[in-house]
Amino acid sequence: MARIIGQALPNIPWEDKPQGCTAPVWRYSRNPIIPRNAIPSSNSVFNSAAVSFNSKFAGVFRCDNKAVEMNIHAGFSDDGISWNINHEPITFLGDPEITRLQYRYDARVCQVEGKYYVVWCNGYHGPTIGLGYTDDFQTFHQLENAFLPYNRNGVLFPRKINGNYMMLSRPSDTGHTAFGDIFVSQSPDLVYWGKHRHVFGTSGGWQSTKVGAGPTPIETDEGWLMIYHGVITTCNGYVYRFGAALLDLEQPWKVIVRGKWYLLGPETLYELAGDVPGVTFPCAALTDAPTGRIAIYYGCADSVTGLCFTTVDEVLDYIKAHRE
């Protein structure tokens, strides 16, 4: 049996696997947990991140408003399922050259050495990787953009590796990118990033157009468990599913095993119908180390937020049985 390296989270949102279910990941029976009109201004709430915070939960949520402008809002929850999202977007403190708003979307949140870091797709002469931090989800500080445009899907590792911070990302272009591989970059100080290494690119079937990192990688005794999204181009457009891979703990650009079969894809009405039909996009994962439980937050059809569940053994057994 695999073991998650991390903390206990006894109040992790959880629902047992339904009887007769053979899939490695199962949906929360009351999905979606966040509707598209969760706050007065929102057209949609999706592709958002949640973390354990002060024995409860906090998060950063993508809320496209009724002008369909993209921005991120803080939110809080007692149980990780019912959320109260701030009506006003996050205001970042920092250099006005960097903090000026063009757009912000698809945030991830990661605790590293006592601080909660927020990573998002930031508009700065094109999409790039914005980076900031907070101690309390009330006051947010913005750091320098991690990379030059164009880049998306920035995901920070939850600890330093060999003395450096590490971040996954997917170099892209100005549009709705029809390509994309996953890279990992290193930094001594969260400002200067280099030592860029290729993790992996597209493959066949459900991940044949592009791939991108999802939630914060989960440390296990077998390697970093990376949940990622893959995209296929069909006659009706892009379809987003998500799968998993296991990366080396000390050199996370080295792939130990990668799943050929996806973990979850659009099947239900709220995943198939929305502003962008056919999207399941994972952005956050909570873990309870002693039990191996994993709760995954994912965007559905670019409209609402869903929750699904699995365990570290379910995922690792599945990708080992159905590997690239």
* Residue 155, domain CATH: 2.115.10.20
Model confidence at 322: pLDDT above 90: yes
Percentage of the chain modeled with pLDDT above 70:
100
Q: Is 136 domain-assigned?
A: yes
Peptide bond before residue 150 is cis, with ω within 30 degrees of 0: yes
Query: Predicted confidence band at 176 (pLDDT cuts at 50, 70, 90)?
Result: confident
The tally of CA atoms less than 13 A away on the side-chain side of residue 104 is: 27
Looking at residue 322, its amino acid is H
Distances (CA, A) of 227 to 168, 185, 224: 12, 18, 10
Determine how β-strand 304-311 pairs with β-strand 26-27. Answer: antiparallel
Cα–Cα dist 213/228, whole Å: 4
Supply the pLDDT for residue 19: 96
3-state secondary structure (DSSP) of residue 133:
strand
Q: Which domain holds residue 72?
A: 36-321
Distances (CA, A) of 129 to 57, 108, 153, 322: 24, 11, 8, 32
Q: Is 19 domain-assigned?
A: no
In 100-209, which ranges are E strands?
104-112, 115-123, 127-134, 140-142, 151-156, 165-171, 182-187, 194-200
Supply the pLDDT for residue 314: 98
Cα–Cα dist 177/162, whole Å: 33
CA 100 to chain centre: 24
Instruction: Provide the H-helix boundaries in the chain.
Output: 96-99, 269-272, 312-321
Q: Is 31 domain-assigned?
A: no
Task: Give the pLDDT confidence of 291-309 residue by residue, as tens digits.
Answer: 999 999 999 999 999 999 9
Cα–Cα dist 257/151, whole Å: 25
Query: Average per-residue pLDDT in the chain?
Result: 98
Instruction: Provide the H-helix boundaries in 3-142.
Output: 96-99
Determine how β-strand 84-85 pairs with β-strand 72-77. Answer: antiparallel
Model confidence at 241: pLDDT above 90: yes
Cα–Cα dist 185/142, whole Å: 19
Q: Is 170 domain-assigned?
A: yes
Q: Is 7 domain-assigned?
A: no
Supply the pLDDT for residue 14: 98
Q: Exposed/middle/buried for 302, CB within 10 Å: 0-12, 13-18, 19+?
A: buried
pTM across the whole model: 0.98
3-state secondary structure (DSSP) of residue 205:
helix
First to last CA, the chain: 22
Cα–Cα dist 188/252, whole Å: 16
Task: Give the pLDDT confidence of 60-88 residue by residue, as tens digits.
Answer: 999 999 999 999 999 999 999 999 999 99
Q: Is 256 domain-assigned?
A: yes
Q: Is 169 domain-assigned?
A: yes
Supply the pLDDT for residue 290: 98
Q: Is 313 domain-assigned?
A: yes
Query: Predicted confidence band at 279 (pLDDT cuts at 50, 70, 90)?
Result: very high
Based on the structure, what is the number of domains in the chain?
Answer: 1
DSSP string spanning 112-131?
ETTEEEEEEEEESSSEEEEE
* Residues whose CB is less than 8 angstroms from the CB of residue 237 and which lie 6 or more positions away in sequence, other chains included: 277, 278
Q: Calculate mean pLDDT across residues 279-302.
A: 98
CA dihedral sign of residues 188, 191, 193, 199: positive
Q: How many residues does the chain have?
A: 324
Q: What is the chain's alpha carbon radius of gyration, rounded to the nearest angstrom?
A: 18
Q: Which DSSP symbol is given to 309?
A: E
